[in-house]
Amino acid sequence: MSVLPIVRWPDVRLTETCVPVAEITDDVRALAADMLDTMYAAQGRGLAASQVGATHRVFVMDAGWKEKRSDPLVCINPMLQEIGEERVSREEGCLSIPGVLASVSRPSQVQMVWTTLDGGRCVQSFDGFAAACVQHEIDHLDGIITFDHLDTETRAAVEADYEGVA
């Protein structure tokens, strides 16, 4: 296992849609392990394959590890199957856009289905921060970044701040 370099915006790979994983191979398992190592090393709570330059529909997350409630997940071919109606706005950061926080409005509750590393199917509901994390990572798999959720004026201001940091 190793720590991988994180792709940073405006790298075009962050705007590309990832392809479904057809078979869970040793390479997919190694990628997932490396992604977890990379996420923890970067002090993140989620990381999509596109953020490390891979094109697979895989993300890892551990929404509670910073609060000593570690529950790492490896999600292969994740899909939202239920989306709550209530929306909440929260500040989101992104390992691919370091130093930038942006207010993003998202559903407060979602249900996701995904394949596990052992090939099993998992269905789980998420709310609060974990729901935002799931949606953020699925966005990455679909080539959507945090900036894409902002209106034109806010996006321009946030991008200008980022360019000053980068």
Q: What is the pLDDT along the chain (166 residues), one digit of tens a residue?
A: 799 999 999 999 999 999 999 999 999 999 999 999 999 999 999 999 999 999 999 999 999 988 888 999 999 999 999 999 999 999 999 999 999 999 999 999 999 999 999 999 999 999 999 999 999 999 999 999 999 999 999 999 988 888 766 5
Tell me the C-alpha distance between 33 and 46, whole Å.
Answer: 13
Class of the 12-165 domain?
A: alpha beta
- 81-118 pLDDT, tens digit each: 999 999 999 999 999 999 999 999 999 999 999 999 99
Please, what is the end-to-end C-alpha distance for the chain in angstroms?
28
User: What local confidence, expressed as pLDDT, does residue 162 receive?
Assistant: 83
**137: annotated active-site residue:** yes
Structural domain spans, the chain: 12-165
**Contact in structure between 140 and 50 (CB atoms under 8 Å):** yes
Measuring CA to CA, which residue among 129, 148, 152, 151 is closest to residue 140? Answer: 148
Q: Which residues of 110-139 are buried (b: 16+ CB within 10 A; e: fewer)?
A: bbbebbeeeeeeeeeebbeebbbbbbbbbb
Considering 86, 91, 137, 163, which one is annotated as catalytic? 137
